[in-house]
Structure 1
């Protein structure tokens, strides 16, 4: 048998019995210390990233163990925790701290290891620009009409631009503020500068690539009718041919799963009578 446990802190250690949720583990793992601006209050990722990635970790662990069992015939217990998953999300920043002992500082949208790789304000909104590698920095300087920045020693490399990020951002922002976001997206993409507007969910609903990827789908819910939900993130021909269904009720498939494992009807009835399992009335037949 392969058995996977998911908990806040793991099955062993001083916190094994301690409960936790996404926000608590964002705080306790150090993740919240990375998010925000230098003078802002601690912030967390609004999307429950620790919860979600822990589910992914559990899925990968079980699939890997199933594959291993095909070779060695062994089952085993898999211990997956929110804490370990939250730390795994921070591999780059945590590894940097373990190397040099310097606590990371909150720098908003910027990447601590490269520049420019952050959000900039334009005349009517914000855009994200990543022009730190290859020839993209000198190209950006030319597009913005400031070729003299190419030879500025403060901006000679991505590492130097990280050191002088404040001066670099001030110079770039002065130019970006002169035109709307749509203008900058057009000219930057034409020059092969990586960029994007800062989208809200209304923009996401209208995004042509998200529609093409099938990531917003409709399904029929027995209580709520037609609802729209995020789709499955992996595209494949088989997935495209499989209709979406709403999440099952608690215990809806308990009886059918036990039948698949050759439990008799009497054994299933005994489990129900002892409250060892639950089936909604609609699933009892």
Structure 2
């Protein structure tokens, strides 16, 4: 690893998406990430279907590249002791268990901070570390509902709709990554680690951004607005003769371009639509008029006319179209990883490009316990100790552990 975080050791005690996504991002940029998993079962998402060649869940694979897997029984004194030893030699710990869940193993902030004052301890929970619901569990769907996101998603007058993406989980994982990096920078000056505390709740509340501000300013409770925005009837999807097209004419210049593209120049100065405020007041009528104008012709026709008039527009691409887009390929946003014995797996690529210290996909998602022995040797354990702990069930060893089993690099 030669990225900007090379030399940093990260311990991840995470499951599903939020914690693993944060730790994977750190690993993409060069950190040595050791993922602690349960003996026998591992991260819950390993077993979630569908599976890649019957061996690894795609969900797990999407959030666990650039990591080494160590299988431990944290409920056993010996397994917990191994985890503490690893954490005491680490720079960063990332977990997304319920608040207090790791305390029984001595992996809580207070215990580890006392043993390793330089440790940056990042907790991603459902509700955050304080407050009356701090110790309650939550997941992506739950938090999309609780934090209000589902109340503004879907068609007007329809039922609640979940965002297709895991926005609560991944949003919290992104914020956690930012928090860890700020704590690393602070440690450069102070020499001390600190606790980074974020949650699915806080991630969703921050994403609501202007909705929250607008509510407090107006007192109006926003609802769903379908494919568009309540503040702009010219910022939404419309049905063409063969498929849907998104139009995002969000200023006065684009409004004029839209009217020209639709052959409706009389709308430009129509008193119902002549400025943004009037268009919002008469939004339903304008949406119907635009829809009627769009309906007779195919998407390609409207793409040509709208772009000629400098109006942003786009078909609603499915994943098969997106992943074959020349721009997506040019930005290297489809990565291919060789899984030993299973073949290639393709996934989303690296979203941040650094000119001097770029990210890299060096390791494929690991098998459960693939690196237990390797990591323990690095921590000073003798072969006899490793075999004894394995025999007691405190640790889990992947077959081939004696050979070190070096995986192939990603492409």
Q: Any conservation in 2 of the 1:213–1:235 contact (CA below 8 Å)?
A: no
Q: Any conservation in 2 of the 1:115–1:132 contact (CA below 8 Å)?
A: no
Q: Which residue matches 1:13?
A: 131
Select which of 154, 165, 190 maps to 2:283. Answer: 165
Deviation at 1:207, TM superposition (A): 1.2
Aligned pairs, number: 283
Q: Which residue matches 2:259?
A: 141
User: Scaled by the length of structure 2, what TM-score is found?
Assistant: 0.64
Select which of 240, 243, 267 maps to 1:122. Answer: 240
CA distance in 1, matches of 2:188, 2:357: 25
Q: Which residue matches 1:103?
A: 221
Q: Which residue matches 1:75?
A: 193
Q: Which residue matches 2:167?
A: 49
Q: Any conservation in 1 of the 2:373–2:386 contact (CA below 8 Å)?
A: no
CA distance in 2, matches of 1:96, 1:130: 21
In the alignment, is residue 194 of structure 1 matched against residue 312 of structure 2? yes
Q: Which residue matches 1:212?
A: 330
Give CA deviations for 1:164-190 in whole Å, capped at 9, x if unaligned: 111111111111112100111111112
CA distance in 2, matches of 1:275, 1:187: 67
Q: Any conservation in 2 of the 1:255–1:268 contact (CA below 8 Å)?
A: no
Give CA deviations for 1:143-181 in whole Å, capped at 9, x if unaligned: 211111011122122222122111111111111112100
Backbone CA RMSD of aligned residues: 2.4
CA distance in 1, matches of 2:383, 2:190: 31
Larger displacement relative to structure 2 (20-29 or 88-97): 88-97
Give CA deviations for 1:181-221 in whole Å, capped at 9, x if unaligned: 01111111121110000111121132111111111122211
Deviation at 1:24, TM superposition (A): 0.4
Could you say what secondary structure the match of 2:365 adopts?
coil
Q: Which residue matches 2:152?
A: 34
Q: Which residue matches 2:93?
A: none
Q: Any conservation in 2 of the 1:3–1:77 contact (CA below 8 Å)?
A: yes
Stretches of structure 2 lacking an aligned partner (at least 5 in a row): 1-118, 405-411
Larger displacement relative to structure 2 (35-44 or 245-254): 245-254
CA distance in 1, matches of 2:256, 2:322: 31
Stretches of structure 1 lacking an aligned partner (at least 5 in a row): none
Deviation at 1:114, TM superposition (A): 2.7
Q: 1:266 to 1:113 in 2, by over 3 A?
A: same
User: Scaled by the length of structure 1, what TM-score is found?
Assistant: 0.90
Q: Any conservation in 1 of the 2:371–2:398 contact (CA below 8 Å)?
A: no
Q: Which residue matches 2:80?
A: none
Q: Which residue matches 2:268?
A: 150
Q: Which residue matches 2:94?
A: none
Deviation at 1:222, TM superposition (A): 2.1
Deviation at 1:119, TM superposition (A): 0.4
Q: Which residue matches 2:116?
A: none
Q: Any conservation in 1 of the 2:252–2:275 contact (CA below 8 Å)?
A: no
Higher RCO, Cα 8 Å, sep 6+: 2
Q: Any conservation in 2 of the 1:272–1:278 contact (CA below 8 Å)?
A: no
CA distance in 2, matches of 1:40, 1:144: 29
Bigger proportion of residues as helix: 1
Could you say what secondary structure the match of 2:268 adopts?
helix
